[in-house]
Structure 1
Amino acid sequence: MSEVQDGRLDARLLQLIGVVLLGGIMGILDSTMVAVAADTLSQQFRTSLTSISWASTAYLLTLTVTIPVTSWAIGRFGAKRLWLFGLILFLVGSMASALAWDVGSLIVFRIVQGLGAGVLDPLVLVILARAAGPSRAGRVMGMMGVVLSLGPVLGPVLGGVVIESLDWRWMFYINLPIGIVAFLLAMRVIPADPPAGQRSDTRLDVLGFALMAPGFAAMVLGLTQAGEHAGFGTPSVLVPMSIGLVLLVGYVLHALRARRTPPLIDVRLFTSRSFAASVTVQGLVGLATYAGLFALPLYYQLLYGHGARAAGLLVAPLGLGSALAMPLAGRLSDRMGARSLAQGGAVIAALGAFALTRIGGDSSEVWSALGAFAIGLGLGAVGAPTMGALYRTLPPEKVPQGSSVLYNLNQLGGALGVALVTLILATAGADKGSAADAVGGFHSVYWFVTAVSVIILIATPLLPGRPETPPAPAAENERAPAEEPVGGA
């Protein structure tokens, strides 16, 4: 792909970004829409909310298990072939979920959806990082961040509209026209895979997969259960988290000793300060983002009596702030580096969270909306430069592995954020006490978000500074191979 002298994105790259994000947004929207429909599905299938919750949990766990093996499959089968396969799998799961006849069939079909999403999610990053190259990684990650920011906010709103206006099955039917268009466009726009002889013939690290994938899944399950039970002391939390920790430690030991078959994730990547700092900061951003997204709707519902759809709309400023900040911060990071932008973003997020510790039950929604907007703006200014820095410093052959680590840590960060917010609110009695208890609980939540923002600020000096080389000159990559790694697509 060509680029003009100032490094702006050319038309072909913009088309690729649009097509890839069109396919990638379906999983983000679907996961949050189903959460909103829990009560409706419980009545429809005449079962408990606990049983219905497994439709979301099974999807999340399957996605988590699939992501690590996708990093290996990219080299073996090619990114385009794998992307089309993931889209088909997700659409088949969507159609089947829409036709589900009981809660058991819905859970099974959601697992199929999760398999498709586990293929698509890391591929979004890999395809765009390869196409952008180091000189444009920040701005492309910033554009991708718009979808990542607005998806969790729009999902509950869209889910509420579907549930109130249409049949619940349309939560899944809606994926079909979007997915078909994304598939047809991907056939034309995504660069062709290299010939079979030029693709990797590395064998799958079966033992590594057997350790790492269920290890991550067990950790996510434990954190999810912690959120449901508002505590970490129950067997349903401690058992899966202990199993997950043992499996992940086992994977690290296995990966360090692996000789004949390369490990799924090279843990020696974490010896690079810039890589370790980037994925850690990004995990903290996920933690703070999901904590805010989870707490704000409850705040509006408990203290103002708003319904689910109105509460979802009032959360939109957080996603909007992030969506506005990420493209600009990502573009600037290609010239300035990640460090100074992330520092400024962490300060803004901390100030926004601190402002939310000052509001009360009689405060206008305007003040909470402004605080949420500031949190989103600040975290967006951290997120895009950090992702851009990750892909500028990774060796080209490690880009799929880096994407796998980034997504899994984001999943863990989000699950941990929700679990901790639930625990904080339950400890304060916010869900069943007086208005004063509720306000105190939400103040504690945003003191927590403030603390996370400060930790991000402390970690930012470890991020890469100004890039060493300027954007590539015009037409440097005009005839680059379709599947060339970072810097050559």
Structure 2
Amino acid sequence: MDAEDRIDGPLARLIGVMMLGGFMALLDATIVNVGIGTLAAHFGAPLDTVEWTASAYMLTLAAAIPVSGWAVDRYGGRAVWLAGLALFTAGSLLCALAWDAGALIAFRVVQGLGGGLMEPTLLTVLARAAGPRRAGRTMALMSVPMTLGPILGPVAGGLINEYLPWRWMFLVNLPVGALAIALAVRSVPRGAPDGTARRPLDVLGLLLLSPGCVAVMYGLSQAATAGFGAPRVVAGIALGAALVLAYVVHALRPRVAPLVDLRLLSIRPYAASVAVMTLVGGVLFALLFLIPLYYQQVQGHGVLSAGLLLVPQGVGAFFGMPIAGRLSDRVGARALVPAGGAIVVLTTLAYTQAGTDTSPLWLGACSVLCGLGLGFIGAPTMASVYRSVPAESTSSATGTLYVLNQIGAALGITVVTLLLQDRVSDGASRAEAFGTAFWWMVLAAAVLVVAAFSLPGRPDRGAAIGSAVAEEPARDSAVS
């Protein structure tokens, strides 16, 4: 390996610092879900009201994501990252001090705004710092919080609800947030790379895209319980689709500097990478929803036990990502992602045959391998995203990636929820209903395998794309 291909000290420190904040935000996205019942009992509020503590975070996150790329280009990665960290940490403190359900929901909006600024900025800053030659290994390390956060969130939430007051679901973020802010001031590069256009804010695009994403996400989240025929679901999805379509027309007009540049989708390797990451969002979050629920409703495990039985999947991903990231810098995504998808297909098949007496040890072993397969999908695909677009388009490429990944996740959870409900209402047993839902996950993973053959192959070691930013950390570290 050439010296310039290694992850050196400055880049390693940057990855570590940003992973700390990124993991905190991603963990909190799911940690509250476990405590919905506890919060409802404490505030004496209806369950459907308290569930908005989760929905408010998710919807605000979706609204903030499109503007984060423009903000990074305009104000620099450090400024946006610190703003996101500060909002998220302040929102955590306010949530811990909430006096009723309405206040908690409002303060979760503050948290969601911070998270929506942080998550895309994390990808953009690290992709620019790494450059194309180190993209695979950098994305592999960065993928750790993205994968482990949603997995460990229910476990942390279960432990807190079992042994600590509910406020600790939010107080736990305060020391982590303070440390992340202090480290980011010294390590995250300030300013945007040379050659990055300081675009004016696309106000019309913002008024179309952010509400459009929120409406689509709202419709999908409501469909999980009310079905796609419910008036609020139809209204949400129809309004969201209309706003997003209007944004597409606006963004493709000549002489428009759009909030998120959809013209990048004409680059085939980038379009293929985004399509695969959308499918990954659906499969991953559907499995994270299905597996703990299967252990609870079919095998009779408690909430904490079911969350712990999800950890093997995180273990597999933890070990798979660094291997896949290193290999993707040499052989490319097309050689790795189909293999990872095939592993997900085969291991998910085990859950289609599982019942009340299936050994958790056997299913845990399958989950380890499933996580390994997901690790072989995520890191190489994200690396191919940043090898496919010009360096100055990194932030816009990240916005599109995150929006579609979030929609894929919401759609995946909605589909499997409705499948479970329909099968049970038709008289099927719980085990049979879960078997049907897992079969759909097998099918989705198979589609992912087919789509993965459109990903780029072995990277061009002489590629110039993105190389202009490879020296950014060194240049900015002198300023900091």
Residue matched to 1:255: 251
Residue matched to 1:92: 90
Amino acid of the structure 2 residue aligned with 1:429:
V
Residue matched to 2:168: 170
Change (3 A) 1:7 1:225: same
Change (3 A) 1:479 1:33: closer
Find the residue that maps to 1:304 and give its secondary structure: coil
Query: Is the contact between residue 10 and residue 473 of structure 2 (CA under 8 Å) also seen in structure 1?
Result: no
Measure the CA separation in 2 of the matches of 1:478 and 1:210.
Answer: 31
Alpha-carbon shift at residue 270 of structure 1 (Å): 1.1
Out of 77, 80, 99, the residue aligned to residue 78 of structure 2 is 80
Query: Is the contact between residue 68 and residue 213 of structure 1 (CA under 8 Å) also seen in structure 2?
Result: yes
Measure the CA separation in 2 of the matches of 1:465 and 1:481.
Answer: 27
Amino acid of the structure 2 residue aligned with 1:237:
V
Amino acid of the structure 2 residue aligned with 1:331:
R
Residue matched to 2:471: 480
Query: Is the contact between residue 324 and residue 380 of structure 2 (CA under 8 Å) also seen in structure 1?
Result: yes
Query: Is the contact between residue 146 and residue 324 of structure 1 (CA under 8 Å) also seen in structure 2?
Result: no
| Deviations 1:137-194 (CA, angstroms, capped at 9, x unpaired) | 0111111111111111111111111111111111111111001111111111112326
TM-score (norm 1): 0.93
Alpha-carbon shift at residue 480 of structure 1 (Å): 2.9
Residue matched to 1:233: 229
Query: Is the contact between residue 137 and residue 322 of structure 2 (CA under 8 Å) also seen in structure 1?
Result: yes
Alpha-carbon shift at residue 226 of structure 1 (Å): 1.1
Residue matched to 2:200: 203
Change (3 A) 1:340 1:40: same
Change (3 A) 1:349 1:76: same
Amino acid of the structure 2 residue aligned with 1:445:
A
Query: Is the contact between residue 316 and residue 372 of structure 2 (CA under 8 Å) also seen in structure 1?
Result: yes
Query: Is the contact between residue 212 and residue 240 of structure 2 (CA under 8 Å) also seen in structure 1?
Result: yes
Out of 94, 104, 107, the residue aligned to residue 105 of structure 2 is 107
Alignment of 1:2-81 (within 5 A): 5=3, 7-81=5-79
Change (3 A) 1:4 1:185: farther
Query: Is the contact between residue 128 and residue 469 of structure 2 (CA under 8 Å) also seen in structure 1?
Result: no
Residue matched to 1:320: 315
Amino acid of the structure 1 residue aligned with 2:250:
H
Query: Is the contact between residue 215 and residue 247 of structure 1 (CA under 8 Å) also seen in structure 2?
Result: yes
Query: Is the contact between residue 342 and residue 381 of structure 1 (CA under 8 Å) also seen in structure 2?
Result: yes
Measure the CA separation in 2 of the matches of 1:301 and 1:375.
Answer: 20
Alpha-carbon shift at residue 198 of structure 1 (Å): 8.0
Out of 363, 368, 371, the residue aligned to residue 363 of structure 2 is 368
Out of 209, 214, 223, the residue aligned to residue 211 of structure 2 is 214
Change (3 A) 1:462 1:198: closer
Measure the CA separation in 2 of the matches of 1:404 and 1:299.
Answer: 34
Query: Is the contact between residue 6 and residue 471 of structure 1 (CA under 8 Å) also seen in structure 2?
Result: no
Q: Does 1:278 align with 2:269?
A: no
Query: Is the contact between residue 208 and residue 247 of structure 2 (CA under 8 Å) also seen in structure 1?
Result: yes
| Deviations 1:216-245 (CA, angstroms, capped at 9, x unpaired) | 11111111001122x211112111001111
Q: Does 1:295 align with 2:287?
A: no
Measure the CA separation in 2 of the matches of 1:414 and 1:297.
Answer: 16
Greater Cα shift, 14-23 or 265-274: 265-274
Query: Is the contact between residue 337 and residue 466 of structure 1 (CA under 8 Å) also seen in structure 2?
Result: yes
Greater Cα shift, 38-47 or 200-209: 200-209
Which runs of 5 or more structure 2 residues have no equivalent in the other structure? Answer: none
Out of 233, 239, 246, the residue aligned to residue 243 of structure 1 is 239
Find the residue that maps to 2:460 and give its secondary structure: coil
**Seq. identity, %:** 46
Alpha-carbon shift at residue 464 of structure 1 (Å): 0.3
Residue matched to 1:463: 455
**What root-mean-square deviation, in Å, do the aligned CA atoms of Structure 1 and Structure 2 show?**
2.2
Q: Does 1:444 align with 2:449?
A: no
Residue matched to 1:397: 392
Q: Does 1:385 align with 2:383?
A: no
Measure the CA separation in 1 of the matches of 2:272 and 2:475.
Answer: 26
Find the residue that maps to 1:429 and give its secondary structure: helix
Alpha-carbon shift at residue 38 of structure 1 (Å): 0.2
Alpha-carbon shift at residue 470 of structure 1 (Å): 5.7
Measure the CA separation in 2 of the matches of 1:305 and 1:354.
Answer: 21
TM-score (norm 2): 0.95
Query: Is the contact between residue 209 and residue 244 of structure 2 (CA under 8 Å) also seen in structure 1?
Result: yes
Measure the CA separation in 2 of the matches of 1:349 and 1:369.
Answer: 14
Alpha-carbon shift at residue 258 of structure 1 (Å): 4.6
